[in-house]
Structure 1
Amino acid sequence: MQGTLSRAAYRILQEGLTNALRHGAGGPIEVRVAAASDALELSVVNRTGAGAGAGRGAFPTSGHGLTGLAERVRLLHGEFEAGPDGPRHWRLTVRLPVRSSA
């Protein structure tokens, strides 16, 4: 996997997990990573609502959040989706194209 793509994937999952811990309702967080020859797909799903979040300031943040992620994904010619997933869950989904170096 290319260095730029792997760093972007790391940061996307880091932001998704931080948001789930900060804003989610506690409980399990589902992380999915699927790699294919043409794309890398990432998703983070968590419960929503008032809950066990650690509160503001508990986790370091760049202050860019989902807007920064969307821009990073756009620059890599990927697809970005974030929002409610049913009445009690939030989903972050990203698809990044994989460019072969052959």
Structure 2
Amino acid sequence: MVTVERRGRAAKAGAGLELAAFRIVQEALTNVLRHSTARTATVELAWDRGGLAVTVADPGPAGGGDAGGSGNGLTGMRERAAALGGSVEAGPDGAGGWRVRARLPVPAATTENGDTT
């Protein structure tokens, strides 16, 4: 089961940012299935004046094995974010689970007239 939480008001971000966010969430959830014993995850989409923060977290613990993945998932997420001037961090959450955080900036021109929180 995946729980989705939305915060803030979405800016007009453009197809590139929306596709990158979608693909990052998709890959992070795939990694939950491949690398965690958890079958639940939380996706948070938090908009602010600077852009979108995407967080995907699972409660863990890690499973045993890679389930046949190619090992390029985190690299691909980082490359997608970097292409937009953003970043991705991934690692243990300190409570036995795993968390992926992506920051995807929205160009200033798209948020100038928007009322974001």
Question: Aligning the two structures, in what range does the TM-score lie when normalised by the shorter sequence?
Answer: 0.7 to 0.9
Q: Which residue of structure 1 aligns with residue 73 of structure 2?
A: 65
User: In the alignment, which residue of structure 2 is the partner of 1:40?
Assistant: 52
Structure 1 runs of 4+ with >2 Å offset: 48-51, 61-64
The answer as to 2:106 corresponding to 1:98 is yes
Q: What runs of 5+ residues in structure 2 fail to find an aligned partner?
A: 1-12, 113-117
Q: Secondary structure at the match of 2:38?
A: coil
Whether the 8 Å contact between 2:33 and 2:39 is mirrored in structure 1 is: no
2:29 to 11, 17, 32: 17
Relative to structure 1, the CA distance from residue 27 to residue 63 in structure 2 (aligned partners, 3 Å threshold; closer, same or farther) is closer
Equivalent pair of 2:85/2:105 in contact (CA under 8 Å): yes
Q: Name the structure 2 match of 1:49.
A: 62
Report the 3-state secondary structure (helix = DSSP H, G, I; strand = E; otherwise coil) of the residue aligned with 1:13.
helix
Q: What is the DSSP-based 3-state SS (H/G/I as helix, E as strand, rest coil) of the residue aligned with 2:42?
A: strand
What are structure 1's unaligned runs of at least 5 residues?
A: none
> Quick one: distance in 2 between partners of 1:15 and 1:68?
9
Q: TM-score, normalised by structure 1?
A: 0.81
TM-score, with normalisation over the residues of structure 2? 0.71
Specify the alignment match of 2:5 in structure 1: none
How many Å separate the matches in 1 of 2:32 and 2:70?
Answer: 16
The alignment status of 1:81 with 2:89, answered yes or no, reads yes
Give the root-mean-square deviation of aligned CA atoms.
Answer: 2.3
Identity rate of aligned residues, in percent? 43
Secondary structure in 1 matching 2:18 = helix
In 2: Cα distance, 1:86 partner to 1:63 partner: 23
Deviations 1:31-82 (A, max 9, x none): 111112321000111112237x9x736xxx7763101111111111112100
**Amino acid paired to 2:49:** S
